[in-house]
Amino acid sequence: MAIERTLAIIKPDAVASGSAGGVITMIEEAGFNIVAMKKAQLTAAQAEGFYHVHSARPFFRDLVDFMTSGPVVLMILEAEDAISRWRELMGPTDAAKAGPDTVRGRFGTNIERNASHGSDAPETAAFETAWFFNCFERV
Ligand code: GDP
């Protein structure tokens, strides 16, 4: 077990429905330390670069359109095993299949509009946290 940092995004659907506070409460109650946080309107270039691993997927254009459809909340979470623990708290990608005690189950709708993002490995966490936060924005 190691102290890790991971990128969390409250996606446009959850911000638009007024659920950002609910997601942040779940994060804090689960014991994560929020070491960086800001609200942002992503550009297409920022969303395309962030999701570059999915660029060949059929849903890529829809995903970029969704992620740029309104403001997001970007966070870096720190905890022991933060990467897997945040993905567990989010629930599965398809919000329709997520449990009621998960972020996606409570605040998401379907496989695309799923309320939240979390890094899936230490390498992606390093890339993703640096994509959105510089060294002066983390405590
Ligand atoms: P995650 O790690 O659970 O976020 O899932 P992925 O890395 O596989 O996918 C990234 C994001 O793309 C998901 O969180 C969804 O918002 C979206 N997505 C994944 N699969 C699909 C799909 O089949 N259709 C659509 N429209 N969007 C998808």
- State the pLDDT at residue 121: 98
Which of 59, 72, 93, 114 for mutating ligand 1's site (highest number of atoms within 8 Å of CB)?
Answer: 93
Whole-model pTM: value is: 0.98
- State the pLDDT at residue 77: 98
Residues whose CB is less than 8 angstroms from the CB of residue 136 and which lie 6 or more positions away in sequence, other chains included: none
Residues whose CB is less than 8 angstroms from the CB of residue 122 and which lie 6 or more positions away in sequence, other chains included: 4, 83
Cα(136) to centroid(ligand 1), Å:
30
Q: Candidates 3.30.70.141, 3.40.50.200, 3.50.30.30, 3.50.50.60; correct CATH number of 3-132?
A: 3.30.70.141
Q: Give the pLDDT of the chain (139 residues) as one tens digit per residue.
A: 799 999 999 999 999 999 999 999 999 999 999 999 999 999 999 999 999 999 999 999 999 999 999 999 999 999 999 999 999 999 999 999 999 999 999 999 999 999 999 999 999 999 999 999 999 998 8
Task: Give domain limits for the chain.
Answer: 3-132
To the query of whether residue 54 is one of the catalytic residues in this protein, the response is no
- State the pLDDT at residue 96: 98
Residues whose CB is less than 8 angstroms from the CB of residue 123 and which lie 6 or more positions away in sequence, other chains included: none
